[in-house]
Chains A and B, each alone.
Chain A
C-alpha cells in the first residue's frame, strides 16, 4: 500500500496542462478528409515528487496525451507548462532540448528496445546523443543504472531479446533514467507484464520515486493499479477528463459512469457466503 506522500501545496507544479486539444486529419486524394479528435480540452496539474494516474479505456486518448507531453507530437491547441516554461508549441530544435527531461516508458518493452542492439548500446544511446560524456563516464553510468534498477551488470553484452519481460522493462526504465529526467511518463508500462512481475516493477518504481524524487504520470486502464501507485487519479473518456481527484476518494466514491465501469472491470476475489459462515 502506497504511503501518502507529503505534498507541499505551495510548491510550484512541475507540469501544468491547460485545455489540450489534438486533432488528427486523415487526408485522402478523393473523398472528404476525416478528422479524429483525440484530445478534447484536457487540463490538469502535477506537483513534483507525486504520481498522477490517468485512467481510461483504449481509445480514450491516453497515449496521445503521453506523446504530446513528451514533445513527440504537437498539440493542435492548448498549452503545456513544464517547470514554468511553455513547451506545447516549440519548434524542432527547442523540442530536442526539452525532450530528455520528460521521458516516456512504453507498454511493450520488446518494441521499445532495438532487438538488433546489445544492452550496452541501448543504455549508451541517450548518453551518446547528449554528446557530453566520455567513454569511461558512459561505462560508469551504465553500471550504476543497471544496479539501480536491479539488473546484473553481466547482461551488457546480451541482446534485449534474450531478457525476460520484467528484465526488459527494468532496462527501459534504466535507459529512461540515464538522462536524469524530471518527469517519467509510464504509458501502460506494466500492462504487458505477468502479475508477479508487475508487482516487482511497481515496487521498483515506488522505490525510485522515494530515492530520486521522481514525478510520475502513470497511464493505465487498470484502476486498481492506479490506486496502488498514485496520489491523484484522472479518469479519461473520449479525449476528456471526466473525473479527477485523490486516489482513495475516486475509488470509494466514484461519481461518473465511466469511473464506475472502470471500477467494475477490476477483478475481485469474493468468498462464497457458505464459506464465510464457517
Chain B
C-alpha cells in the first residue's frame, strides 16, 4: 500500500511537470520565435514588490531595462520606470493542445516585456523557449521510448515464446546491438543521414534513430519474462482448454510483461530526452529556430557566452525536476515489481 502511494505521488508530480510543458502556450508569456532586437542577451529580470523608495506596491512589478552608460552590452534596471506585472493577460496567439486558438497567458507585463529567465542573442524570451523546447524534447523522449519498447516487445515475445532458431538469431542480433557504443552509433546514424532537413523532418528522424538503436535490452528483459511465463501452469492449463498461441500470448503472457515495460519506460524516457539534447546541442538534432532543450544550451559552446551570459545555463537546471520525477517513478515501479514477485513466491512455495 505504501508503495502504491509513493508511486501515485511520483506520477502526480510528473503529471504536473508535463502538464506545464503541454500547456506551454499558457504558461509562457510569449511566442518563442518572437525576437526583441532591442534587448539581446538580457539577464533575468527581477520581480519586485518594494520599490527603491521603500513603498510597497499592490502588484509585483519589473523595471524596464536600459543600457549601462557607455556600454552596449550590459544592462541595468531603470528605477524610474516600473512596469507592473499583469496576470492572465491577453498576448500572442498560441494553440492549446494543438487545437484551440488562445490568447490568454498566465502572466505578462503592462506595456513591457517581462523576461524572467533573460533573453538570448536574438532577444527571444528564454522562459518561453524553455517551455516550448520542453515539448520538443519530452515528446522526442516519449515517442522514442515508445518505439524502442514496441520493437523490444515484439522481438522479445517472438524470441521467448517460439524459441528455437528464432530465439538464437534474435538474441545474437541483440548482443550485437548491445555491443555497439550507443551514443556513437546514434551520432553516426544521424550524421550519415541528410543533415540539412526541415525541423519537422529532423525531429522525426532523430526519434526514429533513437528509438531503433536501443531495443536490445528491453527485448532481452521481455524475453526473460515470456520464457518464464510460458512455463507457468496457468498457461499450460489454458493450452489444455484448446487455446491457440495468439490467445495465450494476448491474454496470459504479454500482460506479465507490463511491469518490465513500465520500468523500462521510466528509465528510457529520460535517457532518450538526454540523447535528443545531446544531438541538438552538437547541431545534429532539432535545428533552429525550433527550440529544444538541447539547442537552447548550444550557445554555451561559445566562450563569450560562457563568461558573460551565465543565465543561458538555466535550462539545464530546469530539466532536473523532470529527471528526478522519472527516477522516482522508476524506483517505485521497480520496488512494486519486486514486491509482487516476492508475494507470488511466498504464495507459490507451499511444499
A residues sitting closer than 8 Å to B (CB atoms) are 29, 67, 70, 72, 96-97, 99-100, 102-104, 106-108, 110-116, 125-126, 129-130, 161, 165, 172, 175, 179, 191-193
Contacts and interface: CB of A to CB of B under 8 A. Distances in A.
9 contacts: A99-B240, A99-B242, A104-B237, A108-B351, A112-B236, A115-B344, A129-B238, A130-B241, A191-B351
B233 A165 contact: no
Given A110-B350, A191-B351, A192-B351, A179 B233 contact: no
Contacts of A172: 237
Interface residues of B, number: 22
A161 B347 CA distance: 8
Interface in B222-259: 232-234, 236-244, 247, 252, 255
Interface in B316-351: 343-344, 347-348, 350-351
B242 A112 contact: no
Nearest to B345: A110
Contact of B236 (A72, A97, A161): A72
B241 A129 contact: yes
Contacts of B238: 125, 129
A70 B232 CA distance: 16
A126 B348 contact: no
B240 A111 contact: no
Nearest to A114: B234
Given A72-B239, A110-B350, A116-B255, 15 more contacts: A29-B168, A72-B236, A99-B240, A100-B242, A106-B237, A107-B351, A108-B351, A110-B344, A115-B344, A129-B242, A129-B247, A165-B350, A175-B237, A179-B241, A193-B350
By Cβ-Cβ distance, the 3 closest A-B pairs, closest first, are A112-B233, A126-B241, A192-B350
Contacts of B240: 70, 72, 99-100, 102-104
Contacts of A116: 255
Nearest to B340: A115
Contact of B239 (A99, A179, A192, A193): A99
A180 B247 CA distance: 22
Contacts of A97: 242
A125 B343 CA distance: 24
B348 to A, nearest CB: 5
Contacts of A99: 239-242
B241 to A, nearest CB: 4
A102 B350 CA distance: 26
Which of A100, A115, A161, A165 counts the most chain B CB atoms within 10 A? A115
A111 B252 contact: no
A202 to B, nearest CB: 17
Contacts, number: 69
Chain B contact residues: helix, strand, loop or mixed? helix
B351 A96 contact: no
Nearest to B238: A125
A57 to B, nearest CB: 14
Nearest to A112: B233
Nearest to A102: B240
A112 B234 CA distance: 4
A103 B237 CA distance: 8
A103 B241 CA distance: 8
B234 A96 contact: no
Which residue, A97, A114, A126, A130, has most C-beta atoms of chain B within 10 A?
A114
Contacts of B234: 111-114
Contacts of B168: 29
Contacts of B351: 107-108, 191-192
Contacts of A29: 168
A99 to B, nearest CB: 5
Contacts of A179: 241
A129 B347 contact: no
A107 B237 CA distance: 12
A108 B233 contact: yes
Nearest to A129: B241
A34 to B, nearest CB: 17
B241 A108 contact: no
Most chain B beta-carbon neighbours within 10 Å: one of A103, A111, A192: A111
Nearest to B233: A112
B239 A114 contact: no
